[in-house]
Protein backbone atom coordinates (compact mmCIF):
# COMPACT_ATOMS: atom_id res chain seq x y z
CA UNK A 1 0.00 0.00 0.00
CA UNK A 2 1.40 3.39 -1.00
CA UNK A 3 2.28 5.83 1.77
CA UNK A 4 -0.34 8.39 0.67
CA UNK A 5 -3.02 5.75 0.42
CA UNK A 6 -2.02 4.37 3.82
CA UNK A 7 -2.20 7.83 5.44
CA UNK A 8 -5.58 8.52 3.85
CA UNK A 9 -6.98 5.20 5.08
CA UNK A 10 -5.52 5.74 8.58
CA UNK A 11 -7.06 9.23 8.81
CA UNK A 12 -10.42 7.87 7.67
CA UNK A 13 -10.24 5.05 10.23
CA UNK A 14 -9.51 7.57 12.99
CA UNK A 15 -12.45 9.71 11.91
CA UNK A 16 -14.72 6.69 11.93
CA UNK A 17 -13.52 5.87 15.43
CA UNK A 18 -14.12 9.42 16.70
CA UNK A 19 -17.64 9.37 15.27
CA UNK A 20 -18.31 5.98 16.97
CA UNK A 21 -18.50 4.19 13.62
CA UNK A 22 -16.56 1.27 15.03
CA UNK A 23 -17.58 -1.15 12.30
CA UNK A 24 -16.09 1.11 9.61
CA UNK A 25 -13.01 1.79 11.71
CA UNK A 26 -12.42 -1.90 12.38
CA UNK A 27 -12.60 -2.78 8.71
CA UNK A 28 -9.98 -0.18 7.83
CA UNK A 29 -7.70 -0.93 10.80
CA UNK A 30 -7.74 -4.61 9.88
CA UNK A 31 -6.69 -3.81 6.31
CA UNK A 32 -3.93 -1.55 7.61
CA UNK A 33 -2.78 -4.20 10.09
CA UNK A 34 -2.75 -6.92 7.43
CA UNK A 35 -0.63 -4.66 5.23
CA UNK A 36 1.82 -3.66 7.99
CA UNK A 37 1.76 -6.31 10.73
CA UNK A 38 4.78 -4.86 12.55
CA UNK A 39 3.30 -1.38 13.03
CA UNK A 40 2.64 -1.00 16.77
CA UNK A 41 0.67 2.25 16.38
CA UNK A 42 -1.82 0.65 13.99
CA UNK A 43 -2.16 -2.37 16.28
CA UNK A 44 -2.77 -0.03 19.24
CA UNK A 45 -5.53 1.84 17.42
CA UNK A 46 -6.96 -1.44 16.13
CA UNK A 47 -6.94 -2.87 19.67
CA UNK A 48 -8.58 0.21 21.18
CA UNK A 49 -11.30 0.10 18.52
CA UNK A 50 -11.92 -3.58 19.28
CA UNK A 51 -12.16 -2.65 22.97
CA UNK A 52 -14.69 0.11 22.26
CA UNK A 53 -16.73 -2.25 20.10
CA UNK A 54 -16.77 -4.74 23.04
CA UNK A 55 -14.78 -7.42 21.21
CA UNK A 56 -12.65 -7.95 24.28
CA UNK A 57 -10.88 -11.21 23.50
CA UNK A 58 -9.73 -9.99 20.09
CA UNK A 59 -8.71 -6.65 21.63
CA UNK A 60 -6.53 -8.51 24.15
CA UNK A 61 -4.85 -10.47 21.35
CA UNK A 62 -4.11 -7.38 19.21
CA UNK A 63 -2.97 -5.20 22.12
CA UNK A 64 -0.58 -7.90 23.31
CA UNK A 65 0.89 -7.96 19.81
CA UNK A 66 1.35 -4.17 19.93
CA UNK A 67 3.12 -4.42 23.30
CA UNK A 68 5.33 -7.22 22.04
CA UNK A 69 6.47 -5.03 19.12
CA UNK A 70 6.93 -1.93 21.28
CA UNK A 71 6.98 -2.67 25.04
CA UNK A 72 7.03 1.01 26.07
CA UNK A 73 4.17 2.14 23.83
CA UNK A 74 1.85 4.54 25.64
CA UNK A 75 -1.81 3.53 26.33
CA UNK A 76 -1.55 -0.07 25.09
CA UNK A 77 -1.27 -1.54 28.58
CA UNK A 78 -4.09 0.66 29.81
CA UNK A 79 -6.35 -0.50 26.97
CA UNK A 80 -5.27 -4.08 27.63
CA UNK A 81 -6.13 -3.67 31.31
CA UNK A 82 -9.55 -2.29 30.38
CA UNK A 83 -10.26 -5.30 28.14
CA UNK A 84 -9.11 -7.74 30.84
CA UNK A 85 -11.29 -5.91 33.36
CA UNK A 86 -14.33 -6.35 31.13
CA UNK A 87 -13.84 -10.13 30.98
CA UNK A 88 -13.41 -10.04 34.79
CA UNK A 89 -9.74 -10.98 34.81
CA UNK A 90 -9.06 -8.44 37.56
CA UNK A 91 -5.59 -9.73 38.43
CA UNK A 92 -4.54 -9.46 34.79
CA UNK A 93 -6.10 -6.02 34.54
CA UNK A 94 -4.24 -4.83 37.64
CA UNK A 95 -0.92 -6.01 36.20
CA UNK A 96 -1.60 -4.20 32.93
CA UNK A 97 -2.55 -0.95 34.68
CA UNK A 98 0.63 -1.14 36.78
CA UNK A 99 2.71 -1.56 33.62
CA UNK A 100 1.03 1.50 32.10
CA UNK A 101 1.81 3.49 35.24
CA UNK A 102 5.51 2.52 34.98
CA UNK A 103 5.60 3.68 31.35
CA UNK A 104 3.26 6.63 31.70
CA UNK A 105 3.30 7.78 35.36
CA UNK A 106 1.33 11.01 34.77
CA UNK A 107 -1.70 9.27 33.22
CA UNK A 108 -4.51 9.60 35.77
CA UNK A 109 -6.82 7.10 34.01
CA UNK A 110 -4.49 4.21 34.82
CA UNK A 111 -4.46 5.00 38.54
CA UNK A 112 -8.25 5.33 38.51
CA UNK A 113 -8.84 2.07 36.65
CA UNK A 114 -6.28 0.37 38.87
CA UNK A 115 -8.52 1.48 41.74
CA UNK A 116 -11.54 -0.14 40.10
CA UNK A 117 -9.62 -3.41 39.70
CA UNK A 118 -8.45 -3.29 43.32
CA UNK A 119 -12.03 -2.75 44.50
CA UNK A 120 -13.11 -5.84 42.58
CA UNK A 121 -10.31 -7.79 44.26
CA UNK A 122 -11.42 -6.63 47.70
CA UNK A 123 -8.27 -4.56 48.26
CA UNK A 124 -10.16 -1.45 49.30
CA UNK A 125 -7.45 0.51 51.08
CA UNK A 126 -5.17 0.18 48.04
CA UNK A 127 -8.07 1.19 45.79
CA UNK A 128 -8.57 4.32 47.88
CA UNK A 129 -4.89 5.15 47.51
CA UNK A 130 -4.96 4.62 43.73
CA UNK A 131 -8.01 6.85 43.38
CA UNK A 132 -6.36 9.54 45.51
CA UNK A 133 -3.29 9.50 43.24
CA UNK A 134 -5.55 9.88 40.21
CA UNK A 135 -7.19 12.96 41.75
CA UNK A 136 -3.80 14.53 42.43
CA UNK A 137 -3.06 14.23 38.72
CA UNK A 138 -6.53 15.39 37.64
CA UNK A 139 -8.67 17.04 40.35
CA UNK A 140 -11.82 17.09 38.19
CA UNK A 141 -11.72 13.44 37.07
CA UNK A 142 -15.14 12.17 38.20
CA UNK A 143 -14.29 8.47 37.93
CA UNK A 144 -11.57 8.81 40.56
CA UNK A 145 -14.04 10.18 43.10
CA UNK A 146 -16.33 7.25 42.34
CA UNK A 147 -13.50 4.76 42.92
CA UNK A 148 -12.76 6.40 46.26
CA UNK A 149 -16.44 6.43 47.20
CA UNK A 150 -16.79 2.72 46.44
CA UNK A 151 -13.67 1.80 48.42
CA UNK A 152 -14.60 3.96 51.44
CA UNK A 153 -18.07 2.42 51.42
CA UNK A 154 -16.50 -1.02 51.75
CA UNK A 155 -14.25 0.31 54.52
CA UNK A 156 -17.40 1.45 56.40
CA UNK A 157 -16.42 5.12 56.13
CA UNK A 158 -19.85 6.10 54.87
CA UNK A 159 -19.82 9.87 55.32
CA UNK A 160 -16.52 10.23 53.47
CA UNK A 161 -17.77 7.81 50.84
CA UNK A 162 -20.92 9.86 50.26
CA UNK A 163 -18.91 13.08 50.00
CA UNK A 164 -16.86 11.56 47.17
CA UNK A 165 -19.91 10.04 45.48
CA UNK A 166 -21.61 13.45 45.43
CA UNK A 167 -18.44 15.04 44.02
CA UNK A 168 -18.37 12.49 41.19
CA UNK A 169 -22.04 13.22 40.42
CA UNK A 170 -21.42 16.97 40.62
CA UNK A 171 -18.66 16.71 38.00
CA UNK A 172 -20.59 14.33 35.73
CA UNK A 173 -24.21 13.50 36.49
CA UNK A 174 -24.62 11.32 33.41
CA UNK A 175 -22.90 8.18 34.73
CA UNK A 176 -25.19 5.46 36.03
CA UNK A 177 -22.46 3.78 38.07
CA UNK A 178 -21.97 6.93 40.18
CA UNK A 179 -25.60 6.76 41.32
CA UNK A 180 -25.18 3.00 41.84
CA UNK A 181 -22.28 3.71 44.21
CA UNK A 182 -24.37 6.35 45.98
CA UNK A 183 -27.23 3.85 46.34
CA UNK A 184 -24.91 1.27 47.89
CA UNK A 185 -23.71 3.81 50.45
CA UNK A 186 -27.29 4.73 51.38
CA UNK A 187 -28.10 1.01 51.63
CA UNK A 188 -25.25 0.35 54.06
CA UNK A 189 -26.31 3.36 56.14
CA UNK A 190 -29.84 1.94 56.36
CA UNK A 191 -31.40 4.77 54.32
CA UNK A 192 -33.50 2.47 52.17
CA UNK A 193 -35.70 5.05 50.46
CA UNK A 194 -32.69 7.18 49.50
CA UNK A 195 -31.00 4.03 48.18
CA UNK A 196 -34.07 3.23 46.07
CA UNK A 197 -34.01 6.73 44.61
CA UNK A 198 -30.34 6.42 43.68
CA UNK A 199 -30.85 3.03 42.00
CA UNK A 200 -33.89 4.46 40.18
CA UNK A 201 -31.72 7.25 38.74
CA UNK A 202 -29.00 4.76 37.78
CA UNK A 203 -31.61 2.71 35.87
CA UNK A 204 -32.98 5.80 34.14
CA UNK A 205 -29.48 6.50 32.85
CA UNK A 206 -28.78 2.83 32.04
CA UNK A 207 -32.00 0.79 31.78
CA UNK A 208 -30.18 -2.55 31.45
CA UNK A 209 -28.08 -2.01 34.61
CA UNK A 210 -28.56 -5.47 36.13
CA UNK A 211 -26.61 -4.88 39.35
CA UNK A 212 -28.71 -1.77 40.12
CA UNK A 213 -31.92 -3.70 39.41
CA UNK A 214 -30.79 -6.51 41.71
CA UNK A 215 -29.89 -4.18 44.58
CA UNK A 216 -33.22 -2.42 44.11
CA UNK A 217 -34.94 -5.80 44.42
CA UNK A 218 -33.22 -6.47 47.75
CA UNK A 219 -34.64 -3.27 49.20
CA UNK A 220 -38.16 -4.05 47.97
CA UNK A 221 -37.83 -7.52 49.52
CA UNK A 222 -36.70 -6.09 52.84
CA UNK A 223 -39.71 -3.75 52.74
CA UNK A 224 -42.13 -6.63 51.91
CA UNK A 225 -42.94 -5.25 48.45
CA UNK A 226 -42.83 -8.68 46.83
CA UNK A 227 -44.79 -7.73 43.71
CA UNK A 228 -42.11 -5.26 42.64
CA UNK A 229 -39.20 -7.26 44.01
CA UNK A 230 -39.36 -10.66 42.36
CA UNK A 231 -39.10 -9.50 38.76
CA UNK A 232 -36.12 -7.31 39.63
CA UNK A 233 -34.61 -10.20 41.59
CA UNK A 234 -34.15 -12.10 38.32
CA UNK A 235 -31.14 -9.81 37.74
CA UNK A 236 -29.26 -11.58 40.55
CA UNK A 237 -27.17 -13.63 38.12
CA UNK A 238 -25.20 -10.51 37.17
CA UNK A 239 -23.79 -10.50 40.70
CA UNK A 240 -22.84 -14.20 40.75
CA UNK A 241 -19.31 -15.46 40.07
CA UNK A 242 -18.65 -15.67 36.34
CA UNK A 243 -18.71 -19.49 36.26
CA UNK A 244 -22.21 -19.52 37.81
CA UNK A 245 -23.90 -17.43 35.12
CA UNK A 246 -23.92 -19.85 32.22
CA UNK A 247 -26.99 -21.83 33.32
CA UNK A 248 -29.69 -22.29 30.71
CA UNK A 249 -32.98 -20.74 31.83
CA UNK A 250 -36.31 -21.31 30.07
CA UNK A 251 -37.45 -18.16 28.29
CA UNK A 252 -40.46 -16.35 29.78
CA UNK A 253 -40.92 -18.93 32.57
CA UNK A 254 -41.42 -16.05 34.98
CA UNK A 255 -44.73 -14.96 33.42
CA UNK A 256 -46.34 -18.40 33.64
CA UNK A 257 -48.31 -20.25 36.28
CA UNK A 258 -46.11 -22.83 37.98
CA UNK A 259 -48.44 -25.74 37.19
CA UNK A 260 -48.29 -24.87 33.49
CA UNK A 261 -44.51 -25.31 33.35
CA UNK A 262 -44.65 -29.08 32.97
CA UNK A 263 -41.69 -31.18 34.04
CA UNK A 264 -39.11 -28.92 35.63
CA UNK A 265 -35.43 -28.95 36.53
CA UNK A 266 -34.67 -26.36 39.22
CA UNK A 267 -30.94 -25.81 39.69
CA UNK A 268 -29.30 -24.83 42.96
CA UNK A 269 -28.14 -21.32 43.78
CA UNK A 270 -26.46 -19.54 46.65
CA UNK A 271 -25.51 -21.20 49.94
CA UNK A 272 -26.90 -24.05 52.01
CA UNK A 273 -28.88 -21.67 54.23
CA UNK A 274 -30.55 -20.08 51.22
CA UNK A 275 -31.43 -23.49 49.80
CA UNK A 276 -33.11 -24.37 53.11
CA UNK A 277 -34.99 -21.06 52.98
CA UNK A 278 -36.37 -21.80 49.50
CA UNK A 279 -37.23 -25.34 50.64
CA UNK A 280 -39.99 -23.71 52.71
CA UNK A 281 -41.97 -23.81 49.44
CA UNK A 282 -41.24 -27.44 48.56
CA UNK A 283 -44.39 -28.84 50.17
CA UNK A 284 -46.44 -26.74 47.76
CA UNK A 285 -44.83 -28.42 44.74
CA UNK A 286 -44.32 -31.88 46.25
CA UNK A 287 -47.04 -33.66 44.26
CA UNK A 288 -47.25 -37.18 42.86
CA UNK A 289 -48.47 -36.01 39.47
CA UNK A 290 -45.65 -33.47 39.09
CA UNK A 291 -42.13 -34.34 37.87
CA UNK A 292 -39.69 -31.91 39.45
CA UNK A 293 -35.93 -32.34 39.64
CA UNK A 294 -34.28 -30.16 42.28
CA UNK A 295 -30.53 -29.70 42.43
CA UNK A 296 -29.34 -29.14 46.01
CA UNK A 297 -26.10 -29.21 47.94
CA UNK A 298 -25.13 -32.82 48.57
CA UNK A 299 -25.04 -32.20 52.34
CA UNK A 300 -28.80 -31.58 52.29
CA UNK A 301 -29.79 -34.82 50.56
CA UNK A 302 -30.47 -36.94 53.69
CA UNK A 303 -32.77 -34.45 55.39
CA UNK A 304 -34.49 -33.35 52.15
CA UNK A 305 -35.15 -36.93 51.04
CA UNK A 306 -36.63 -37.65 54.47
CA UNK A 307 -38.82 -34.53 54.44
CA UNK A 308 -40.32 -34.57 50.92
CA UNK A 309 -41.93 -37.59 49.27
CA UNK A 310 -42.12 -36.90 45.53
CA UNK A 311 -39.44 -34.37 44.62
CA UNK A 312 -36.42 -35.78 42.83
CA UNK A 313 -33.32 -34.34 44.46
CA UNK A 314 -30.14 -34.39 42.39
CA UNK A 315 -26.60 -33.06 42.53
CA UNK A 316 -24.10 -32.28 39.79
CA UNK A 317 -23.18 -36.00 39.88
CA UNK A 318 -26.57 -37.16 38.59
CA UNK A 319 -28.16 -34.36 36.56
CA UNK A 320 -31.32 -35.46 34.73
CA UNK A 321 -31.11 -35.83 30.96
CA UNK A 322 -32.34 -32.77 29.11
CA UNK A 323 -35.17 -34.68 27.44
CA UNK A 324 -36.70 -35.54 30.84
CA UNK A 325 -37.81 -31.96 31.65
CA UNK A 326 -39.36 -29.03 29.81
CA UNK A 327 -38.55 -26.04 32.00
CA UNK A 328 -35.46 -25.00 33.92
CA UNK A 329 -34.71 -22.09 36.26
CA UNK A 330 -32.92 -21.34 39.55
CA UNK A 331 -34.22 -22.26 42.97
CA UNK A 332 -34.23 -18.60 44.03
CA UNK A 333 -36.98 -17.96 41.46
CA UNK A 334 -39.33 -20.39 43.20
CA UNK A 335 -40.74 -17.82 45.67
CA UNK A 336 -41.87 -15.62 42.76
CA UNK A 337 -44.63 -18.16 42.06
CA UNK A 338 -45.78 -18.70 45.63
CA UNK A 339 -44.82 -15.68 47.78
CA UNK A 340 -46.33 -12.74 45.93
CA UNK A 341 -47.52 -10.86 49.03
CA UNK A 342 -47.36 -11.06 52.82
CA UNK A 343 -50.60 -13.04 53.03
CA UNK A 344 -49.13 -15.83 50.88
CA UNK A 345 -46.84 -16.73 53.81
CA UNK A 346 -49.85 -17.59 55.97
CA UNK A 347 -49.71 -21.36 55.67
CA UNK A 348 -50.55 -23.78 58.45
CA UNK A 349 -47.20 -25.57 58.41
CA UNK A 350 -44.88 -24.38 61.21
CA UNK A 351 -41.97 -26.57 60.05
CA UNK A 352 -40.97 -28.36 56.87
CA UNK A 353 -37.85 -30.41 57.63
CA UNK A 354 -37.71 -33.66 59.62
CA UNK A 355 -34.69 -34.66 61.65
CA UNK A 356 -33.54 -38.21 62.27
CA UNK A 357 -35.55 -38.86 65.43
CA UNK A 358 -33.20 -41.55 66.73
CA UNK A 359 -30.22 -39.21 66.52
CA UNK A 360 -32.28 -36.41 68.04
CA UNK A 361 -33.26 -38.59 70.99
CA UNK A 362 -29.65 -39.69 71.55
CA UNK A 363 -28.39 -36.10 71.56
CA UNK A 364 -31.10 -35.02 73.97
CA UNK A 365 -30.37 -37.84 76.40
CA UNK A 366 -26.66 -36.96 76.44
CA UNK A 367 -27.35 -33.28 76.93
CA UNK A 368 -29.68 -33.86 79.87
CA UNK A 369 -27.70 -36.66 81.52
CA UNK A 370 -26.42 -34.42 84.34
CA UNK A 371 -29.39 -32.06 84.64
CA UNK A 372 -32.55 -33.78 83.38
CA UNK A 373 -34.84 -30.86 84.31
CA UNK A 374 -32.85 -28.27 82.39
CA UNK A 375 -33.91 -26.62 79.16
CA UNK A 376 -31.52 -27.07 76.24
CA UNK A 377 -30.37 -23.99 74.34
CA UNK A 378 -28.34 -24.21 71.14
CA UNK A 379 -25.83 -21.39 70.71
CA UNK A 380 -24.25 -20.05 67.51
CA UNK A 381 -22.37 -16.76 67.32
CA UNK A 382 -20.11 -16.81 64.27
CA UNK A 383 -20.46 -16.72 60.47
CA UNK A 384 -17.72 -17.81 58.09
CA UNK A 385 -18.99 -15.49 55.34
CA UNK A 386 -15.85 -13.62 54.27
CA UNK A 387 -17.78 -10.64 52.88
CA UNK A 388 -20.32 -9.82 55.58
CA UNK A 389 -19.49 -12.18 58.45
CA UNK A 390 -17.88 -9.49 60.56
CA UNK A 391 -21.14 -7.51 60.66
CA UNK A 392 -23.04 -10.52 61.98
CA UNK A 393 -20.48 -12.06 64.34
CA UNK A 394 -20.40 -11.89 68.11
CA UNK A 395 -17.85 -12.72 70.76
CA UNK A 396 -19.09 -15.12 73.44
CA UNK A 397 -18.63 -12.41 76.03
CA UNK A 398 -21.47 -10.50 74.32
CA UNK A 399 -23.80 -13.35 75.27
CA UNK A 400 -22.68 -13.43 78.90
CA UNK A 401 -26.09 -12.37 80.27
CA UNK A 402 -27.84 -15.17 78.40
CA UNK A 403 -25.20 -17.80 79.12
CA UNK A 404 -25.39 -16.95 82.83
CA UNK A 405 -29.05 -17.94 83.12
CA UNK A 406 -29.73 -20.87 85.42
CA UNK A 407 -31.64 -24.02 84.52
CA UNK A 408 -30.30 -24.14 80.96
CA UNK A 409 -27.88 -26.56 79.32
CA UNK A 410 -26.06 -24.79 76.49
CA UNK A 411 -24.82 -26.69 73.45
CA UNK A 412 -22.53 -25.47 70.71
CA UNK A 413 -24.03 -25.44 67.19
CA UNK A 414 -21.03 -23.68 65.70
CA UNK A 415 -19.01 -25.71 63.21
CA UNK A 416 -15.26 -25.45 63.66
CA UNK A 417 -15.89 -23.69 66.98
CA UNK A 418 -13.15 -21.52 68.48
CA UNK A 419 -12.21 -23.99 71.21
CA UNK A 420 -9.90 -21.57 72.98
CA UNK A 421 -12.74 -19.07 73.26
CA UNK A 422 -15.01 -21.78 74.70
CA UNK A 423 -12.39 -22.88 77.25
CA UNK A 424 -11.55 -19.32 78.26
CA UNK A 425 -15.20 -18.41 78.70
CA UNK A 426 -15.84 -21.51 80.82
CA UNK A 427 -12.80 -20.82 82.98
CA UNK A 428 -13.65 -17.17 83.59
CA UNK A 429 -17.45 -17.39 83.92
CA UNK A 430 -18.00 -20.99 85.11
CA UNK A 431 -20.39 -21.61 82.23
CA UNK A 432 -19.95 -24.70 80.13
CA UNK A 433 -21.13 -24.90 76.54
CA UNK A 434 -21.26 -28.56 75.59
CA UNK A 435 -19.52 -29.41 72.35
CA UNK A 436 -20.00 -32.64 70.38
CA UNK A 437 -16.53 -32.78 68.84
CA UNK A 438 -17.29 -36.17 67.30
CA UNK A 439 -19.98 -34.61 65.10
CA UNK A 440 -18.85 -32.79 61.93
CA UNK A 441 -21.34 -29.92 62.01
CA UNK A 442 -19.95 -28.51 58.76
CA UNK A 443 -20.28 -31.57 56.54
CA UNK A 444 -22.89 -33.60 58.41
CA UNK A 445 -25.91 -31.33 58.08
CA UNK A 446 -28.23 -34.24 58.91
CA UNK A 447 -26.62 -34.59 62.35
CA UNK A 448 -26.74 -30.82 62.77
CA UNK A 449 -30.50 -30.98 62.18
CA UNK A 450 -30.86 -33.61 64.89
CA UNK A 451 -28.74 -31.64 67.34
CA UNK A 452 -30.80 -28.50 66.73
CA UNK A 453 -34.01 -30.52 67.07
CA UNK A 454 -32.77 -31.81 70.44
CA UNK A 455 -32.80 -28.23 71.74
CA UNK A 456 -35.75 -26.53 73.37
CA UNK A 457 -34.74 -23.24 71.79
CA UNK A 458 -31.87 -21.65 69.89
CA UNK A 459 -30.00 -18.35 70.14
CA UNK A 460 -28.10 -17.59 66.96
CA UNK A 461 -26.87 -14.99 64.55
CA UNK A 462 -27.80 -15.16 60.87
CA UNK A 463 -26.08 -18.31 59.65
CA UNK A 464 -27.04 -21.87 58.66
CA UNK A 465 -28.28 -22.58 62.19
CA UNK A 466 -30.96 -19.91 61.89
CA UNK A 467 -32.27 -21.66 58.77
CA UNK A 468 -32.04 -25.17 60.22
CA UNK A 469 -33.79 -24.14 63.44
CA UNK A 470 -36.50 -22.27 61.56
CA UNK A 471 -37.06 -25.14 59.13
CA UNK A 472 -37.49 -27.54 62.06
CA UNK A 473 -39.97 -25.19 63.75
CA UNK A 474 -37.66 -24.70 66.68
CA UNK A 475 -38.19 -21.61 68.84
CA UNK A 476 -35.34 -19.34 67.77
CA UNK A 477 -34.06 -15.98 68.96
CA UNK A 478 -32.23 -14.49 65.99
CA UNK A 479 -29.73 -11.62 66.17
CA UNK A 480 -29.42 -9.63 62.94
CA UNK A 481 -27.26 -6.60 62.12
CA UNK A 482 -28.62 -3.11 61.50
CA UNK A 483 -28.13 -2.84 57.74
CA UNK A 484 -24.83 -3.97 56.26
CA UNK A 485 -24.70 -7.73 56.58
CA UNK A 486 -28.47 -8.03 56.97
CA UNK A 487 -29.99 -10.51 54.51
CA UNK A 488 -33.14 -9.43 52.70
CA UNK A 489 -35.20 -12.31 54.10
CA UNK A 490 -34.94 -10.95 57.65
CA UNK A 491 -37.39 -8.31 56.54
CA UNK A 492 -37.49 -4.74 57.75
CA UNK A 493 -41.09 -4.47 58.97
CA UNK A 494 -41.59 -7.60 61.03
CA UNK A 495 -40.17 -8.93 64.30
CA UNK A 496 -41.03 -12.51 63.37
CA UNK A 497 -39.76 -14.29 60.28
CA UNK A 498 -42.26 -14.73 57.47
CA UNK A 499 -40.30 -17.72 56.20
CA UNK A 500 -39.89 -19.42 59.57
CA UNK A 501 -42.78 -18.66 62.00
CA UNK A 502 -40.79 -19.99 64.97
CA UNK A 503 -37.98 -17.45 64.47
CA UNK A 504 -38.19 -14.17 66.34
CA UNK A 505 -35.94 -11.40 64.98
CA UNK A 506 -33.95 -9.03 67.18
CA UNK A 507 -32.30 -6.27 65.15
CA UNK A 508 -29.51 -3.90 66.00
CA UNK A 509 -30.67 -0.28 66.19
CA UNK A 510 -27.26 0.87 65.04
CA UNK A 511 -24.26 -0.85 63.50
CA UNK A 512 -22.14 -2.82 65.96
CA UNK A 513 -24.38 -2.39 69.03
CA UNK A 514 -25.86 -5.69 70.22
CA UNK A 515 -26.66 -4.73 73.82
CA UNK A 516 -30.36 -3.91 73.38
CA UNK A 517 -31.08 -7.02 71.29
CA UNK A 518 -29.27 -9.35 73.71
CA UNK A 519 -31.07 -7.85 76.72
CA UNK A 520 -34.41 -8.35 74.94
CA UNK A 521 -33.58 -12.00 74.21
CA UNK A 522 -32.53 -12.57 77.82
CA UNK A 523 -35.86 -11.22 79.07
CA UNK A 524 -37.75 -13.40 76.57
CA UNK A 525 -35.92 -16.52 77.75
CA UNK A 526 -36.56 -15.68 81.40
CA UNK A 527 -40.27 -15.25 80.63
CA UNK A 528 -40.27 -18.51 78.68
CA UNK A 529 -38.75 -20.51 81.53
CA UNK A 530 -40.92 -18.86 84.18
CA UNK A 531 -44.08 -19.45 82.14
CA UNK A 532 -43.34 -23.13 81.70
Nearest to 261 by CA among 295, 287, 237: 287
Predicted local confidence at residue 503, as pLDDT: 97
Evaluated on CA atoms 250, 256, 259, 262, the torsion sign reads negative
pLDDT digits (tens, 9 = 90+) for 424-447: 888 988 889 999 988 999 999 999
Q: Where do the domains of the chain lie?
A: 3-198, 247-345, 357-531
Distance of CA 41 to the CA centre of its chain: 42
Q: What is the 3-state secondary structure (H, E, C) of 216-270?
A: HHHHHHHCCCHHHHHHHHHHHHHHCCHHHCCCCCCCCHHHCCHHHHCCEEEECCC
CA atoms of 344 and 236, how far apart (whole Å): 23
Q: Read off φ and ψ for residue 440, nearest 5 degrees.
A: -85, 90
Predicted local confidence at residue 418, as pLDDT: 82
Query: Which residues of the chain, if any, have pLDDT below 50?
Result: none
Contacts 24+ apart (CB under 8 A), 86-91: 86/51, 86/54, 86/56, 87/56, 87/57, 87/60, 88/120, 88/242, 90/117, 90/120, 90/121, 91/121
Residues 6+ apart with CB under 8 A from 164: 145, 146, 148, 149, 152
The CATH H-level (homologous superfamily) assignment of domain 3-198 is Tetratricopeptide repeat domain (1.25.40.10)
Residue 69 gets the label, from left (phi > 0), alpha (psi -120 to 50) or beta, of alpha
3-state secondary structure of 393: coil
- DSSP class of residue 93 equals H
Predicted local confidence at residue 348, as pLDDT: 78
Nearest to 237 by CA among 256, 273, 211: 211
Q: Which CATH class is domain 357-531?
A: alpha beta
Nearest to 499 by CA among 384, 302, 338, 382: 338
Given a contact cutoff of 8 angstroms between Cβ atoms, the answer to whether 83 and 54 are in contact is no
Predicted local confidence at residue 54, as pLDDT: 93
Predicted local confidence at residue 532, as pLDDT: 54
Given a contact cutoff of 8 angstroms between Cβ atoms, the answer to whether 327 and 264 are in contact is yes
CA atoms of 507 and 216, how far apart (whole Å): 21
Evaluated on CA atoms 229, 235, 238, 240, the torsion sign reads positive
Amino acid sequence: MAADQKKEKLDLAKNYFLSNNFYGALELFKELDDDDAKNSEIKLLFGITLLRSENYQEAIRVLNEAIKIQPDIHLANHALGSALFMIEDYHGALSAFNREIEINPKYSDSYCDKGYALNELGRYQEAFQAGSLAIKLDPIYADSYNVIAASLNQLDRYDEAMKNALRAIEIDGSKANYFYTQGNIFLNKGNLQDALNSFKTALELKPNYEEASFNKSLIHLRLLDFKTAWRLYENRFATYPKESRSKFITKNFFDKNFDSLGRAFIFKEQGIGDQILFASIFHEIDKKEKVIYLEVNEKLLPVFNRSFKNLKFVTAKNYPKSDTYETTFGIASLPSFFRKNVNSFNIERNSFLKSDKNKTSTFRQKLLSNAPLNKICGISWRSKNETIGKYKNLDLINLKKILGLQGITFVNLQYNPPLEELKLFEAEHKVRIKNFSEVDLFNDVDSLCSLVDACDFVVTISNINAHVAGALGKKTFLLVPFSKGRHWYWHEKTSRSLWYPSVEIFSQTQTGDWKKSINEIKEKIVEEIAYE
